Amino acid sequence: MFHGSLPATAQQILCQIVKQWNVDDIYVGCSGNFTIERCLKHITPARLHSNDVTVYSCLIGRYFTGEKLNATLKPEYNGVMKFVEKYLDDGAGTMAVILILSKMGIYLGSKPNPYYERMIKAYTNQFEALWNRTKSKLEKIEPFIASMFEGDVCEWVDNIPDEAGFICYPPFFAGDYEKMFRVIDDMFDWNPPSFENINKDRINKLFEKLARRKYFMFGTNDYLVDFKEYLVGMCQTTNRGVPLYIYAKSDKSMIVSPRQKTESLLIPRLGENEEIGNAIKIFELKQEEFQALRSHYMNIHINPGQATAAFGVTVDNKLIGVYAFSAAPTYYYRYE
């Protein structure tokens, strides 16, 4: 129902650390899709306080605190999704619309192409069923956030009590999340907060403030030399994927890394200076075979994704190349 952001492996590290905290309140900066809060509510009795600036996160935050969403379709909007206005109720119905639109963002906000047009048509044709299902799930969620601050996290941290816990997993790139939800922003009036875009310099200053606290934790995709004494965790969701480093004051540490299953493909390769024959054949590869070939031949600086289907190409029964496809709407993989 919600977009994923904090990997499950990072959540394991987070839970291990927070269980050691003796706090009545935990503040979460850059809440995103509230993965951290949804994780924390099961392991701590502390009151949870959230923060963010995007339309997606702010409306989720309002919903999780039990507030009215105060989001309405802009009168001037006359796009393909104008019909969603009849589903808006300032509660679970509106929130369901926002969540569905967040899934459609890439199709609605990108340059049109036949695939995107088909996806938009499929969503619009099934919108009522999707809305009913999403709304039903939302109505089962009781408010569990004590407060929601819509504004700049770098300013918010200055007003947090010293005895409280603070967790932050900021976006890696300036304007990252704002771009993701621009389609919704362009469609709705929702009284957005004012804020300064976050960047590496501001994030580093934020981390300096957090490191002075007794109970803090922050995550980033950078190994930070200045904070190495607080490095307590590292996780990686996929082989050669971007690592997530977690910093906190804790006597426990954890590393979680993926184990890639591989299997040798027992087919001879076309050798250097060998003549290429005429008998071409394409055959499906098992994921384990594809991963072994990819790890062996692909440049280590290329971050691989998860292939939906992989294929090998032989000429005269000798392997000359491999290619793979992903069902994700914006990715195409080709390895030779």
How much is the pLDDT for 177? Answer: 55
How much is the pLDDT for 331? Answer: 39
Cα(196)–Cα(121) distance, rounded to whole angstroms?
A: 37
Specify the range with the lowest mean pLDDT, choosing from 54-58, 223-227, 287-291, 328-332. 328-332
Domain boundaries, the chain: 8-256, 280-335
Pair of tokens at residue 335: 């390895």
Pair of tokens at residue 128: 């009522």
pLDDT > 80? residue 4: no
How much is the pLDDT for 336? Answer: 34
The predicted model gives 131-138 an average pLDDT of 97
Degrees to nearest 5, angle at CA 257 with 226 and 1? 95
pLDDT digits (tens, 9 = 90+) for 14-34: 999 999 999 999 999 999 999
H-type helices in the chain, by residue range?
Answer: 8-18, 35-40, 55-64, 92-108, 114-125, 127-138, 153-156, 176-180, 182-187, 200-210, 287-297
How much is the pLDDT for 36? Answer: 95
How much is the pLDDT for 335? Answer: 33
How much is the pLDDT for 22? Answer: 96
Is-above-0.85 flag for pTM?
no
Confidence of residue 334 (pLDDT cuts 50, 70, 90): very low
How much is the pLDDT for 294? Answer: 84
Higher pLDDT, 249 or 295: 249
pLDDT > 70? residue 3: no
pLDDT > 50? residue 199: yes
> Which residues are CB-neighbours of 66 under 8 A, at least 6 positions away?
143
Cα(47)–Cα(35) distance, rounded to whole angstroms?
A: 16
Average confidence score pLDDT of the chain: 88
- State the amino acid at position 33 in one-letter form: N
How much is the pLDDT for 157? Answer: 96
Specify the range with the lowest mean pLDDT, choosing from 192-201, 235-244, 280-289. 235-244
How much is the pLDDT for 80? Answer: 95
CATH topology (fold) of 8-256: Rossmann fold (3.40.50)
pLDDT > 50? residue 176: no
pLDDT digits (tens, 9 = 90+) for 307-327: 889 999 999 989 988 988 887
Higher pLDDT, 258 or 210: 210
